[in-house]
Amino acid sequence: MRTQVVIIGAGPAGLLLSQLLDLAGIDSVVLEKRSRAYVESRIRAGVLEDQFQELLRRAGVGARMDRDGEIHDGMNLAFDGRMLRIDLAGLTGGRTVRIWGQTEVTRDLFEAREARGGAVLDCAEDVIPRGFDGEAPYVTFSCGGASQRIDCDFIAGCDGFHGVSRASAPNDRSETSERVYPFGWLGVLSETAPVASELVYAYSPRGFALCSMRSQSLSRYYLQVPAATNPDDWPDDRFWDELRARLPEALADGLETGPSIEKSVAPLRSFAVGAMRHGRLFLAGDAAHIVPPTGAKGLNLAGSDVHYLSEALIQWYFNGDPVALDTYSDRALARVWKSQRFSWWMTRLMHSFPDDPPFNRRLQRAEFEMLEESQAAQIVLAENYVGLPY
């Protein structure tokens, strides 16, 4: 079997890349190791930058998002009981974010690929990218026990942090940057009205809390917890009590509680490869970088990678121009690192770091006060939150 681009991974990066390439007339096959039902049900991101929304519209999957996704023109920081609203639109010349879950993005992308007859094999085991250091790359895998091989021009590694693509690339560890945080996020989804109409990122000495949502009747809350936390140790009542204790009193008093319909712990990590290209293998999304979720940047970065990569492949196929492919890694990483900086900064500002000396905690408060007092500081936050230019 032969195709132009083999895409490993049917997360948002892989599906969006295959859709954009297809619309330009470039064939691809997507190889996914999990079932479609499993991929569609993973609850993750919820905040989409305006440029990522535009990319989804260009890919023909913006209709439901535009109809049902809420536009947010502000978000809130709470610090030791004090609230600060960041007027995203007012500080950025009218730019906003949209609340639209990754589960919905993935569902629309799967449906769009299906409608266009796109090949997405969600049975692919033992996927291995091969020969990408030469002119004739190929991928081997098995599906239902039968070994298969697909020859191609390029391989796109969109298989997330634990995927096989990055692991198959020649690894210069000295170029990889990583920071693991001593805590994770315990997330709960519940069919309750959100405690506030906009997102609230809250610092408390007990730890960080985030009040987010999927709609005005579906709330998503997170608590900072130690990295090795078992969600089973957090029955719903314990979760709600702890959330209340970390929010400013006025907000906590209005918290509507109910049974959780999902509960899970996600570790926090900052990670980036030194290079996103290895010959004819290109990495995109979480396969190349991880940011802590505090800045809501992971999915959005997968989007900007896919934008750069799809444009570069189109330049190569239709103009015979290799420049954009040659510069893909540098272009994508330049934006990745600015989002790394922002995500690290938000994480550092809003979390309670175990063993932090009093000096650091005092600096955290000063940073928050700086934001309260300086519009310039708020603009920097707002510009990053709505998304830096592609």
Judged by beta carbon distances under 5 to 8 A according to partner kind, the member of ligand PHB, ligand RFL, none in contact with residue 39 is ligand RFL
Can 201 be counted among the known catalytic residues? yes
Neighbouring-strand partners of residue 63: none
For residues 3 and 219, which CB has a smaller minimum distance to ligand PHB in the complex?
A: 219
Q: How far is the CB of 100 from ligand PHB (least distance, A)?
A: 10
**Residue length, the chain?**
390
Rule CB under 6 A: say whether 164 interacts with ligand RFL: yes
CA 199 to CA 213: how far, in whole Å?
A: 7
Rg over CA atoms, the chain: 21
CA angle 280/5/126 to nearest 5° reads 85
Can 293 be counted among the known catalytic residues? yes
Can 248 be counted among the known catalytic residues? no
How, if at all, do strands 75-79 and 146-151 pair?
Answer: unpaired
Query: Which residue is catalytic, options 289, 297, 307, 351?
Result: 297
Neighbouring-strand partners of residue 282: 156, 277
For residues 26 and 265, which CB has a smaller minimum distance to ligand PHB in the complex?
A: 265
Judged by CB under 6 A, which of 219, 294, 347, 378 binds ligand PHB? 294
Distances (CA, A) of 193 to 101, 248, 254, 329, 375: 16, 18, 10, 42, 31
Please report which helix (H) or strand (E) contains residue 121, including its range.
strand 119-121
Stretch that binds ligand PHB, among 45-53, 60-68, 110-118, 244-252 (CB under 6 A): 45-53
Query: Which residue is catalytic, options 33, 181, 201, 307?
Result: 201
Judged by beta carbon distances under 5 to 8 A according to partner kind, the member of ligand RFL, ligand PHB, none in contact with residue 294 is ligand PHB
Rule CB under 6 A: say whether 243 interacts with ligand PHB: no
- In this structure, the number of other CB atoms found within 10 A of the CB of residue 8 comes to 29
Can 307 be counted among the known catalytic residues? no
Rule CB under 6 A: say whether 69 interacts with ligand RFL: no
By CB under 6 A, the residues from 166 to 195 that bind ligand PHB are none
Residue with nearest beta carbon to ligand PHB: 46
- Residue from 180, 190, 189, 183 nearest 206 by CA: 183
Residue type, 166: R
DSSP character string of 181-249: EEEEEEEEEESS--SSSS-EEEE-TT--EEEEEEETTEEEEEEEEETT--GGG--HHHHHHHHHHHS-H
Contact string 73-112 vs ligand RFL (x = CB under 6 A): -----------------------------x----------
Can 138 be counted among the known catalytic residues? no
Q: How far is the CB of 43 from ligand PHB (least distance, A)?
A: 7
Contact string 25-64 vs ligand RFL (x = CB under 6 A): ------xxxx----x----xxxx-----------------
Count the residues of the shown chain that bind ligand PHB, applying the rule CB under 6 A: 10
Query: Which residue is catalytic, options 203, 293, 307, 351?
Result: 293
CA 136 to CA 231: how far, in whole Å?
A: 46
Residues that bind ligand PHB (CB under 6 A): 45-47, 199, 210, 212, 220, 293-294, 296
* Active-site annotation, residues: 72, 201, 293, 297, 385
